[in-house]
Structure 1
Amino acid sequence: MTNKLILFLFLIPIYFFAQAPQNLDYKTVSGFINYKNKPLENVSIFVKNTIRFSVSDTKGSYKIKVKVGETLSFSYVGLEKIEVLIEDVTSILNIDLKIRNTITQIQSGKVIKLGETNIGEYKDISLITKIKGSELNENGLSITKAIQKKAPFLLIRYNDYGEEITYIKGKEMNGPVVWVIDNVSFDIPFDIFILEVKEVLIFNYDKKRPVITVNTNIDYKKVNDIDFANYYFNDSDYYNHDAISYKKVRINYPFLDKYKRLKPKEAFDLYKKTNAVDKNITNFYFTLFNTYKKKKDSKPFLLNILSDFESMSFDNPEDLKAIAYKYLEINEKQKALEIYKKLVKLRPKHHQSYRDLANAFLGSKKYRNVWLTYRYFFKKGFKIDDNDIGEIITSEIVSTYNLDSIDRTNLPKIKIENSYKNIARDVRIVFEWNTTEAEFIIEFVNPNLDVFEIENSLVQNQGLIEDQKKKGYTSKEIFINQLNYGNYLVNLTYLGNKQYKPTVFKITTYYNWGRPNQTKKTAIFDFIQKDKKFQLLKLNRRFLR
C-alpha cells in the first residue's frame, strides 16, 4: 500500500503538466441575473483587465467567453458589484444582485479567515488588561475602535443597525463583552469622547461574557441628550428559536413518484430501467440516495447509485468530493479514499486535496501514509498559510504526531511547535463543503442564547472567497474549549452556489478532542433551499461521557 502511494504521489506532476495547456482555452460561462427574484436586464458583465464584456437581456440571461483564472465582474447602478474568479469547473453562474449595504461595507474583510477569527482558539491573554485613557487615540472613530487599537485581541462585529458588538477573539462562544461604564452595565457603549476616558480595564473570563470597564470624567448632571435604554440588547439580539430542524427538510421531485412504496430491491430494478433518462434530472442521484439511505437492505442500491454518478463525474472535482462525502455517510471509507486520490490528480495545486487525502488516512490510523502525503505537500513547495485550511492542517498534523506514538517505520514525522494546537478541548467541529461558489451563514448559539455568526459570501468577504479559490480549500474548524451546561446549537442559512445543483456539506464533530477518549461523528447535509435557517447540530455535555 505504501509503495503504491509513493508511486501515486510521484505521478501527480506528470498528470498536472499534461493537463496544463487546457487552462489557456476559452470557455463559455452563462447564467441568469436576478434582483429580488426577478430577472434583471442591462447588467454589465466584464472580464476584468480585458475588453470582453456582455450585457444581460430581458430575461436576465447572459453568456460570455472567459479563461480559468480570470475574474468576471457583474455591476448595476445602485446594486452591490459582484466579482467571481473563474475556476476549472465554472460553467454556470446565476447571480443574485443586492442593494448596496453601507453597514456591510464598514466591515473590512481584511482577515482571510471565515468569520475573521479562529473560533475557540484564543492566545494567552491576561485576566486583566489595563489601558490608560491617555494611551488611546483621541481621534479614534469610536471608543470601541480606540480600545481595539491597544487591544488587538478584540473582534468588532456590526449588527443590523450598524452598532459595534465586541468579542474577545477565540472566545466568541462566551458571548459579546459587557460594558461597565462608570459602574453602570451596558451591552453596547454609548458615545464617549476619547478625552473623557480615564482608564479601561478588560476582564477576560473563561466561562462567561468578558467585561470592559471604562472609567471616565463625564459629568452626568450635564448629560441630558442620551437615552441610555438604547444601549441594551433586546429580544432580537438573542436567538429566537427560528431555525427549522434539518430533519424536516422536504423537497418534492416528480421523478420520485414512481418510487413510492418500493422496497430497495424493487427500487433498484426500476432504477436500472429508467436511469438512462432520469440521470439528466438535476440532483437525481443524491435525491435517490437520500431517499433510501436509511432503509433496510439498501446498501447494494446505494453503492450502485454512487458508482454510476462517480462514472459520470470522473472529471468534475466538486461532484466527486460530494460523492466521497456520501460514501463516508454509509461507512465506505475505502471508496471515499479512492476519490480523494483522484482529487489530488485533478487538483494538484489545491491545499484541500492533500489535506483530505491525509485526513482519510488518519481516519484509518494509517499514520505512515499521512506523513508521506504531507511530506510530499511540503516537498512541492506548499506551506501552511495563515488561513482556514492552514489551521486545519496544523491541527491534524499535531494530532497525528500525538496519536502516532509507536514509530514502526522509521519515517521522520512532522512536528509543529504550536502550544495552542496542543490543548485538549471538549469539542472540535470541522465544516467542509464541495464547491467554492457556496455562500452561507453559520450561526452558533450558546446556552445563554447569545448568537455569533460567520458568513461565507462574496459581499461579506470577497478576499476570503478568492483565497479559497486560489489556494484551493473549502473548510473551517472551530473549537469549544469547555461545554457549559445547556445546549449549544449550530444553524446554517444557505445563500446559494450560483448553480442549479445543491451544495453538500460534511460536518465532523470531535468530542474530547486531543484526549484518550476522543470520539467523532460525521454528518452530511445537502442544501438547495435558500434563505432558510436550519438547525444542524445540538451539542451538550452528555456527548463527553
Structure 2
Amino acid sequence: MKNNCTLFTLLCCCSLVFSQQHSITGTVMDEGAPLSDVDIKIANQGMVSQSDNHGRYQVDASEGDLLVYSKQGMEPIEIRVEDVTRTLNVEMFPKVKKLKNVTVAKKKWHSQKELEKDYHNNPNIVKTAFGYLDRTKATYAVRMINTNNILPGEYDLSNALRGRLAGVRVNGSFSGISSFGRGARSVFTRSGTPAIYDIDGQIFTEFPNFLDVQSIERIAVISSLFGTMRYGSFGRGGVVVINTKAGVRPPTDKNGFVIDRARLRNNIYEGDALTQENMAKNEPEYLKALTRSNSFEEAKSTFESNFDRYSFSPYFILDSYRYFYDRWGKEEFADSIIEDAYASLDNHPVHLKSLAYIYEAQGRFDKAYDTYRDVFILRPQYAQSYLDLANSNRSIKNVKRAAVLYVRYFHLLNRGLIQSDSSTFSGMIKRDFGNLLAVENIDKISKSIKKKDFAQDENLENTRLVFEWSNSEAEFELQFVNSDNRHYTWKHNLRENPLVIEKEKEHGYSSTEYFIDDLSEGPWQVNVNYLGNKSLTPTYLKATVYYDYGTKAQRKEIKVFKLGLKNVNQELFSLQKGNLIAAR
C-alpha cells in the first residue's frame, strides 16, 4: 500500500512545477577569445544583459526561460534555462555568407583554427582553457619554457620552474607523495596568492604533483591581471599553463596542418582515439592518489586526508564511492561515503542522475530506483523522468509499476499536459513500452491503451544502443566504427545541431538510440569526443547495450563513463558477437 501511495504522489506532483528566478553568469567567446557587446535577451521579454569587454555577463532568469545571445555578424544562440542552470559559457560562431567580387586582404591577426594549425611548428603558441594563445601577439607578458629546456630525467616540476622565469617563485619541495595544506608546493607570480594551473584545458588549484615532467611540451606563466581575468577570482595569483605531449596533438598532414578526420569523405577510421587507460592520466589528483593505493586501509587513509578539502565537490564523492565499491568491493564503506555527503547531491538532479547511472552499471538496481525516484520528484515535467523511472522499475522486476508509468505518460501526452516530440524521444519511449508488452507478462493495462499501437517492429535489428547523459548542456560527438573501419559521427552540439538540442531542452530529455544490424560480420567500436557542458565540470555518459532485442532472450549491459577531458577522441567500448568489451 505504501508503494502505491508513493507512486500516486509522484504522478500527481507533475502539475506542481514552480519557477524561481536565479542568477546565471558566464562568458561569451568566439574561437576562444572573449566577445564583448553581445546582447543577452529572454525571449519575448527584451534585453536583460550585455557582455563586457572580457565577454562576461550576468542575467537573472527563471527555469523555462529561453536565453537568446545575439551580435551582429554572429549566428544567434538560444539556450533554455533549467533548474540547475547557474553557469553558461557560450561559444558563438560567425555568420557565413557567400559574397561576389570581393577581394580578401591578408589579415594581421590569426584565428583560433590558424593558431591550432601552427601549434606544433610555433613554440610561442600555448593552448589554454579558453583557446590558443600566441605570446608574441598578446598585449601582456607571457613567459614560456619549452620541452627542450627541461632536463632529461627531471621528475620534479618545481625544479623545472624554480629560477627559470623572472618573477616566478616556487615554494616547497618534492616529498614523493601528494601534499596538501601547509607545506604544500605552490607557485607565486605576483602576490601572496598562489597561482592556479591550466593543464591541457583543465583547471587545477593544487600543485600538480601527479604530472610526469617528461610528458610536458610547453609551460607558460601569465601573471598580468588582464591576462588572467578570464579565469575569474581563481586567477588572481596568476596562471601556470601546461601543455602535455599527449594533451595537444591534433592530427597533421605532411605540411603540418590539422586534419579533421571526422570530415574526410572516405570516412576511414585511423585508430586515433585514446584508450581509457591513457585518459586516466588526466584524472583529478585525489583519484590518482587513491589508484596508487596498495591496500584498502591505505586507500581509506588517502580518502580521509582529502575529505575536508574536496568534500564539497560532488565529483569527489562520486569518484570515491565508485572507487571503493569497484576496486575493493567495500559496499558498506562506499555507501557511507554517499550517505555522509548526500547534501552535496540532494536536490540536484544532474548529480543524482550521475549517481543512478553508476548504481545501474554496478547492478545495484534498487538503489538506482530510489535515486531516479528523487529525480522524478525534482523534475516531474521532464519526459526523461518518466522513461528513467519506468525502466528502473523494470530493472527491479516490478513490470506492472513500469507499465503504469508508461500508461501515465501517454495519458498525459494525449491530454496535452506533456508536449510530444514526434522524432527521437517519442519513438524511444514508445519502443520501450512496446518492448515491455512483448517481452514481459502483463495481464492488465489501461483500457485507453491499445497494445497494437505499441507493437514492436519485426524488422528491428537485434542490437540496440541507448545513450543517456546526466547534463543536458553536454556537447559531444559519438563516433561509430564498423568492421570495415569506416565511421559515422553523430554531432551533438549547438554549432551542428542547435534544433536537436533545443528540442531536447524543450521536452526534457537527454538520450538517443542506435541500432546495429551487422554485428555478426565483425566488431564495432564506439568512441566519444567530449566538447564540454558550458562549465568546467564533467558529464556522465551512460551506454546501455541490448542484445537479442525484442526476444525472450533479450539482455542488457550498462557502462558509465565520466567525460572530463575536452576535444579528445576517446574509446568507450567495442561490440563483438554479442559481447561488450570496455576500452582499457
- TM normalised by structure 2 equals 0.64
Q: Deviations over 1:107-145 (max 9, x none)?
A: xxxxxxxxxxxxxxxxxxxxxxxxxxxxxxxxxxxxxxx
- Alignment CA distance shift 1:419-1:354 (3 Å): closer
- Please give the secondary structure, in 2, of the residue aligned with 1:244: coil
Q: Which residue of 2 aligns with 1:500?
A: 536
Q: Which residue of 1 aligns with 2:78?
A: 83
Q: What is the aligned counterpart of 2:570 among 529, 534, 538?
A: 534
Deviation at 1:430, TM superposition (A): 0.6
Q: What is the aligned counterpart of 1:376 among 369, 390, 408?
A: 408
CA RMSD of aligned residues (A): 2.9
**Higher deviation after alignment, 413-422 or 245-254:** 413-422
Q: Is 1:245 the counterpart of 2:271 in the alignment?
A: no
> Which blocks of at least 5 consecutive residues in structure 2 are unaligned?
99-262
Deviation at 1:508, TM superposition (A): 0.4
AA aligned opposite 1:520:
K
C-alpha distance in structure 1 between counterparts of 2:487 and 2:82, whole Å: 34
8 Å CA contact 1:282–1:500 kept in 2: the answer is no
Q: Deviations over 1:14-60 (max 9, x none)?
A: 6455552xx1x321100122333333333332223223332323433
AA aligned opposite 2:383:
H
**Within 5 A, what are the aligned runs for 1:171-320?**
237-250=267-280, 251-256=282-287, 259=290, 260-261=292-293, 263-268=295-300, 271-272=303-304, 274-281=306-313, 283-320=315-352
Q: Is 1:356 the counterpart of 2:373 in the alignment?
A: no
8 Å CA contact 1:326–1:524 kept in 2: the answer is yes
8 Å CA contact 1:401–1:414 kept in 2: the answer is no
Deviation at 1:511, TM superposition (A): 1.2
- Please give the secondary structure, in 1, of the residue aligned with 2:579: helix
Q: Is 1:457 the counterpart of 2:488 in the alignment?
A: no
C-alpha distance in structure 1 between counterparts of 2:452 and 2:556, whole Å: 23
Q: Which residue of 2 aligns with 1:207?
A: none
Deviation at 1:347, TM superposition (A): 1.1
C-alpha distance in structure 1 between counterparts of 2:44 and 2:442, whole Å: 55
Q: Deviations over 1:366-416 (max 9, x none)?
A: 211111212222333347642322122112111111222363x78767614
Deviation at 1:321, TM superposition (A): 0.7
Q: What is the aligned counterpart of 1:404 among 440, 448, 453?
A: 440
- Alignment CA distance shift 1:287-1:525 (3 Å): same
AA aligned opposite 2:70:
S
Q: Deviations over 1:426-484 (max 9, x none)?
A: 21011111121111111122222332222112222222212211211111111123324
- Alignment CA distance shift 1:270-1:15 (3 Å): farther
Q: Deviations over 1:312-358 (max 9, x none)?
A: 22211111111101112222111110111112211111111111111
- Please give the secondary structure, in 2, of the residue aligned with 1:240: coil
Q: Deviations over 1:247-287 (max 9, x none)?
A: 43122423446644263344335545653431234732233
Larger RCO, structure (CA 8 Å, separation 6 or more): 1
C-alpha distance in structure 2 between counterparts of 1:57 and 1:291, whole Å: 43
- Please give the secondary structure, in 2, of the residue aligned with 1:283: helix
Q: What is the aligned counterpart of 1:31 among 4, 26, 36?
A: 26
C-alpha distance in structure 2 between counterparts of 1:319 and 1:267, whole Å: 24
8 Å CA contact 2:314–2:344 kept in 1: the answer is no
8 Å CA contact 1:397–1:416 kept in 2: the answer is no
C-alpha distance in structure 2 between counterparts of 1:101 and 1:4, whole Å: 59
Q: Deviations over 1:195-218 (max 9, x none)?
A: xxxxxxxxxxxxxxxxxxxxxxxx
**Within 5 A, what are the aligned runs for 1:11-30?**
11-12=9-10, 15=13, 19-20=17-18, 23=19, 25-30=20-25
8 Å CA contact 2:399–2:442 kept in 1: the answer is no
**Within 5 A, what are the aligned runs for 1:378-393?**
378-380=410-412, 381=415, 382=418, 385-393=421-429
AA aligned opposite 2:49:
S
AA aligned opposite 1:64:
V
- Alignment CA distance shift 1:102-1:319 (3 Å): farther
8 Å CA contact 1:447–1:484 kept in 2: the answer is no
C-alpha distance in structure 1 between counterparts of 2:419 and 2:284, whole Å: 45
8 Å CA contact 2:419–2:507 kept in 1: the answer is no
- TM normalised by structure 1 equals 0.68
C-alpha distance in structure 2 between counterparts of 1:424 and 1:471, whole Å: 26
- Please give the secondary structure, in 2, of the residue aligned with 1:501: coil
- Alignment CA distance shift 1:257-1:403 (3 Å): closer
C-alpha distance in structure 2 between counterparts of 1:461 and 1:542, whole Å: 32
8 Å CA contact 2:349–2:378 kept in 1: the answer is yes
C-alpha distance in structure 1 between counterparts of 2:264 and 2:66, whole Å: 42
- Please give the secondary structure, in 2, of the residue aligned with 1:295: helix
Q: Which residue of 2 aligns with 1:150?
A: none
Q: What is the aligned counterpart of 1:41 among 36, 40, 64?
A: 36
Q: Which residue of 1 aligns with 2:510?
A: 474
AA aligned opposite 1:40:
L
8 Å CA contact 1:425–1:514 kept in 2: the answer is no
Deviation at 1:361, TM superposition (A): 1.5
- Alignment CA distance shift 1:341-1:406 (3 Å): closer
Q: Deviations over 1:185-232 (max 9, x none)?
A: xxxxxxxxxxxxxxxxxxxxxxxxxxxxxxxxxxxxxxxxxxxxxxxx
Q: Which residue of 1 aligns with 2:171?
A: none
8 Å CA contact 2:476–2:530 kept in 1: the answer is yes
Q: Which residue of 2 aligns with 1:224?
A: none
Deviation at 1:67, TM superposition (A): 2.0
- Please give the secondary structure, in 1, of the residue aligned with 2:22: strand
C-alpha distance in structure 1 between counterparts of 2:458 and 2:406, whole Å: 19
Q: Is 1:8 the counterpart of 2:6 in the alignment?
A: yes
AA aligned opposite 2:507:
K
- Please give the secondary structure, in 2, of the residue aligned with 1:294: helix
**Within 5 A, what are the aligned runs for 1:82-161?**
82-100=77-95
- Alignment CA distance shift 1:421-1:304 (3 Å): farther
Q: What is the aligned counterpart of 2:560 among 524, 530, 533?
A: 524
AA aligned opposite 1:305:
I
Q: How many residues align?
A: 409
Q: Which residue of 2 aligns with 1:183?
A: none
> Which blocks of at least 5 consecutive residues in structure 1 are unaligned?
104-232
C-alpha distance in structure 1 between counterparts of 2:420 and 2:14, whole Å: 21
C-alpha distance in structure 2 between counterparts of 1:304 and 1:294, whole Å: 15
C-alpha distance in structure 2 between counterparts of 1:306 and 1:326, whole Å: 12
Q: Which residue of 2 aligns with 1:185?
A: none
Q: Which residue of 1 aligns with 2:206?
A: none
